[in-house]
Structure 1
Amino acid sequence: MTLGPLIRDLREALGYSQGRLAELLCESAGRATVCREDISRWENSKRTPGPFWLRHLAAVLEVPLTVLEDAKLHRRRFLTDMAATAIAPVVAADLISSGFSAALAADGLPLDYWQDRLNVYGRDYMSLGAAEIQRRLAHDLVVLQQHLDQPGMWEIAAKLMTLYGKTFPGSDGAKAANWYRMAAKAADRSGDDAARVWVRGRAAIALGYEGASLGMAEMFAEQAMQISDVPSLGRLNALMGKAHVAAIRGDRGTALSLLDEGRRVFDRAGSQEQTSDYAVPWWRMNVFVSLLAARLGEERLAVTAQDAAHAELPESLPRFATHLEMHKGLMLVRAGDKSGGTAYARAALDRLPPEKHSLTLRLLMQEIENGGH
């Protein structure tokens, strides 16, 4: 394993953005400077920090220097070993305490408490960064494990696990895909077909939109569609996820056919709720369509979808406005202007505060930089 992923894991475990890590390194190093772009290059193994920066990285990331020097250390062993030392004492103690407290409670936490937590996460995911959501969810998932004594609890667990999976990039299949698989099994425990379809459909659109793990995205989509043909948000997500897979593979006819079917389902199952990850209102449907059209090179369809999304997109959700602007950058790239499209998308991403960035946006930027592939 290279050094870059270790730096990223440590940074995310502490909840730092790349920009924040750069600031802390500058404070630690005195006059020497480092910027967010340097952090990105280190994490993507495009450059390797020298001995000077390794020392300061070890100090800021709260690990022994030898951990960073041993770039071949296996990630799983690293996380396990460090759980009892540099990273996790406070966090692990809090999680363990919460879990045992929940197990020892006479009555436990009721279903409506967890339903409220689910609703809060659905809203917060739309505006908060992945690192913050991941930290909070890790705590609640430990506690929730002690309350899986009825079908309704399994449904809530499945939806929270799906959301947790979305805090990892889909390209890292060992993390995101594993959480989606567990979420699907948890949904099956609930016995609720709507939940079973929703979890699989949400995994399909997450992976398909990211352009990651296409086989896994297609598998989840097909499972969702086989469970039930009732129009629902889960089926809509599955159809749109599968449409994105087809678009990335260059199958224009299938992508547009799935889009038509998705629109029919949306007409019957679209949401009135505007600001929840568990909803698909009109503006969000058009965000899906905007990226799909950009990937297909359908400029007129993309512009129409972008205008429709902007018309109803809540001002409280600037991250999705960034998505739409980056779709325009992808359109330029697909039209042959790689440098102009990449610069346009990068400028849009840079205007969004780093703490608002999502892993999905990061993957979209990589897709644009790679020429739309």
Structure 2
Amino acid sequence: MRERREHFGVYLAGLRRARGKSQRQMAALLCDASGTQSVTRTEISRWERGRRVPEVWLPWLAQLLAVPLQEIEQAAAYARGDESARLPGPAASLSALLPEGDPLRATGTVGRRIGATEILDLANRVHALRLADDVLSGGDLIDPTFRELRSALALYRESTFTEDTGRQLLAQIGELGQITGWVASDAGRLADAEHAYRLGLDAARQAGDAPLAGNLAGSLAYQWSNNGREREGAELAEAALRESGPAAPAVARALFSDRVAWAHTRAGKPDSAQAAMRALGEAHAALDEETDGQAPPWAYWVSREELKIMDARVFTELRRPLRAVPLLTDVLSRYDITHARELALYRSWLAVALADANEPEQAAAEAQRVIALAGELSSERTATRTRVVLERLQPFAVVPEVRSVLAEHRHLLHVWPLT
């Protein structure tokens, strides 16, 4: 049921963005249309994150979003669990949109012949999605990534090509599986994300691209580590590093070691801290290597700055704020302001680290920045981190700055006893 409500939320958010309206603007329009003042931006956010279904508001939503009332009522019925209802458009689950059976199985028909031009065009579109993910959130990108993955699978199943072209096409499908999984996870669509990661992993292995396979397995491990499967996440992160092989580019090995560090940190076993610190050291050592090899395009964002961020996140999780705060403060002082999601996420760790360092006033100021950045993002990651920050501030509720933040934003928590 929850997954259906989340799918409905993605559908609703897509309609709103298609009309060029923010959540705050949509709330104001609903208030005007209904003659009440009972709809807030927060309520819109709850609908779009699948927390509630806006039952009584459906007629006004249909009017303001320019969709037939019957369509939006069917979507709401789907969210309520009606087995006969279907979610309209591309917000349906990924499994419902892909071919039945093995998506990588050829159809047996003789299609058009493709070559280097088609592969290059696809590679350019894949990289465009990566770059878009730097500045957009999962809810904004989920439709185009699903569409590109479906198109690439159709190209593979229905075209003819040489063996070499086939391997290149499979590699691009693998890369699309990774970015689709990442985007779906950010939108809160965890089942779709895992489906995409597994499909991409299969394609990467068939293409013989061990580093790409490692990237996909590591991406899935990261999702598991952050969503209640910490032990499995640590095991898969280690396996991803092994699968990539010793010949993997240095930047890829740095990324995979970072994921191992995070997975061990989240696992919370007696030796987790030592394993995490060892993996962080290996990540930095890999990036220090002199290499003439070209980094894979999917690792374009891995840098010394990003390694510092991961170091700081690990130190924060391990409750070592004196090491985390200087690193985060330094990197965030020059971080690209167009990357709003990452800024919100990284500032959330700074807020927690400041709270751990017994600096509640500064932590409250950072929490305000996190909430301001996350407010208009269609990202489940930032929504989750916002809740983490507010929960961490609760022991400091007697501090005026903290009390003010909690009083203003307590609705973002499921339960918050103001004392």
**Normalised by the shorter chain, which TM-score bucket?**
0.7 to 0.9
Deviations 1:156-198 (A, max 9, x none): 1111211111122377542222221211111111112222222
Which stretch of structure 1 is more off in the superposition, 105-114 or 243-252? Answer: 105-114
Q: Which runs of 5+ in 2 are unaligned?
A: 98-109, 394-419
Displacement of 1:27 in angstroms is 5.0
Q: 2:309 aligns with which of 282, 287, 293?
A: 287
1:87 & 1:138 partners in 2: Cα distance? 9
Which of 5, 30, 39 matches 1:34? 39
TM-score (norm 1): 0.77
Question: How far, CA to CA, are the matches of 1:45 and 1:202 in structure 2?
Answer: 24
1:97 match: none
Residues of 2 paired with 1:283 and 1:229: CA distance?
A: 24
CA contact (8 A) 2:13 2:48 kept: no
- Equivalent position to 2:240, from 219, 224, 227: 224
Give the deviation of 1:304 after TM superposition.
3.2
1:134 Cα shift? 1.6
What is the deviation of 1:42? 4.8
Aligned to 2:127: 119
Partner residue, 1:297? 319
Q: Is the 8 A contact 1:319 1:356 kept in 2?
A: yes
8 Å contact kept, 1:126–1:277 = no
Query: What do residues 74-94 of structure 1 show as CA deviations (whole Å, max 9, x unaligned)?
Result: 68x74xx2347x988xxx99x
Kept in 1: contact 2:218–2:240 (CA 8 A): yes
- Say if 2:367 is the partner of 1:349: no
**What is the identity, as a one-letter code, of the residue corresponding to 1:204?**
A
2 CA distance for matches of 1:57 and 1:269?
57
**Superposition pairs of residues 65-104 of structure 1, within 5 angstroms:** 65=73, 68=76, 72-73=80-81, 78=85, 81-83=86-88
Change (3 A) 1:104 1:36: farther
2: CA distance, partners of 1:71 / 1:113: 37
Which structure's CA Rg is the greater one?
A: 2
Aligned sequence identity (%) = 19
Report the alpha carbon displacement of residue 257 of structure 1 after superposing the two structures with TM.
2.0
Spell out, residue by residue over 1:295-322, the C-alpha distance to the aligned partner (whole angstroms, 9 max, x if none).
1111222123224423653344344333
| Worse-superposed segment, 37-46 or 321-330 | 37-46
CA distance in 1, matches of 2:238, 2:149: 28
Report what 1:237 is aligned to.
255
**2:11 corresponds to:** 10
SS for the counterpart of 1:34 is coil
Aligned residue number for residue 367 of structure 1:
388
1:126 CA displacement: 0.7
Query: Which residue identity is paired with 1:242?
Result: V
What is residue 99 of structure 1 aligned with on the other side?
none
Moved more, 280-289 or 140-149: 140-149
What is the RMSD computed on CA atoms of the aligned residues? 3.9
Paired position in structure 1 for 2:172: 156
Structure 1 269/204 Cα, relative in aligned 2: closer, same or farther at 3 Å?
A: farther
* Cα gap change, 1:27 to 1:166, in 2 (>3 Å): farther
Counterpart residue number, 1:253: 274
The letter for the 2-side match of 1:40 is: S
Hey, what's the Cα distance between the residues in 1 that align with 2:148 and 2:78? Answer: 33
How far off its partner does 1:72 sit? 4.1
1:126 is paired with a residue whose SS is: helix
Distance 1:14 1:186 in 2: 33
Q: Residues 182 and 112 of structure 1: is their aligned pair in 2 closer, same or farther, counting only changes over 3 Å?
A: same
1:52 aligns with 2:56: yes
Give the conservation status (yes or no) of the 8 Å contact 2:9–2:50.
Answer: no
Structure 1: 5+ residue stretches without partners: 94-102
The answer as to whether partners of 2:178 and 2:196 remain within 8 angstroms in 1 is yes
Q: How far has the Cα of 1:36 moved from its partner?
A: 1.9
Query: For residue 221 of structure 2, what is the aligned residue in structure 1?
Result: 204
Name the CA distance, whole Å, in 2 between partners of 1:47 and 1:136: 25
Q: Retained in 2: the 8 A contact 1:25–1:34?
A: yes
Distance change in 2, residues 1:217/1:180 (3 Å):
farther
Pair 330,37 (structure 1): closer, same or farther in 2 beyond 3 Å: same
TM-score, normalisation: structure 2: 0.69
Q: Which moved more, 1:312-321 or 1:172-181?
A: 312-321
Query: Letter of the aligned partner of 2:57 in structure 1?
Result: W
Q: 1:142 aligns with which of 147, 150, 167?
A: 150
